[in-house]
Amino acid sequence: MKKVAQYIFSIGLTLLFGYLALAGIEFSALWQIVHEVTAQSVVFIVAITLVRIGLRTWRWQMMMRSFAGHIGYVVTYLAVAICYAANVVVPRSGDILRAVLLGWSDRAAVGPLLGSVAAERVFDVLLLGLLAGSVFTLLAPQHTSVYPQLAWSIGLVIVVGGLLLLLMSLFAAGRFALVVRLVGRISPRLGALVEPHMAAIAQGMDSLRRPRQYAAIAGVSLLLHLSYAGLIYVGYWGMGLTVAYDLGLEAALLTMVVSAVSFFVPTPAGIGPFHFFFKEALTTFYAVPPTEALACATVVHATYNLTYLVAGGLAALAVQGRRWWQDRSTA
Averaged pLDDT, groups of 10, the chain, 331 residues long: 76 91 91 94 97 94 79 92 91 84 79 79 77 69 54 58 59 54 61 54 60 79 92 96 92 90 85 94 92 96 96 92 74 59
> Is 22 part of any domain?
no
Contact 299, 37 (CB under 8 A): yes
pLDDT for res 67: 73
DSSP structure string for 72-99: -HHHHHHHHHHHHHHHHHSTT-HHHHHH
- Per-residue pLDDT, 127: 78
Q: What is the pTM of this model?
A: 0.83
CA distance 127 to 75: 27
Return d(Cα 121, Cα 131) in angstroms, integer.
Answer: 15
| Residues 39, 30: Cα–Cα separation, whole Å | 18
Residue 111 belongs to a domain: yes
Q: How far is residue 132 from each of residues 85, 111, 138, 144, 209, measured CA to CA in Å?
A: 26, 32, 10, 11, 26
**Rounded to a whole number, what is the largest CA-CA distance in the chain?**
67
Where are the extended beta strands (E) located within 205-304? none
Contact predicate 194/180, CB 8 Å: yes
| Residue 319 domain-assigned (yes or no) | yes
- What is the pLDDT at residue 29? 92
Query: Which domain covers residue 220, as residue numbers?
Result: 28-330
Find all residues with CB under 8 Å of 272, minimum gap 6, and list them.
13, 14, 15, 16, 17, 18, 20, 21, 262, 265
Give domain status of residue 15, yes or no: no
Cα(228)–Cα(235) distance, rounded to whole angstroms? 11
Q: Is residue 67 part of a domain?
A: yes
Q: Which residues neighbour 147 within 8 Å (Cβ) at sequence distance 6 or greater?
A: none
Number of domains present in the structure of the chain: 1
Secondary element (H or E) of residue 283? helix 273-286
Q: In this structure, is residue 20 part of a structural domain?
A: no
Q: What is the pLDDT of residue 269?
A: 86
In a domain, 8, yes or no: no
In a domain, 282, yes or no: yes
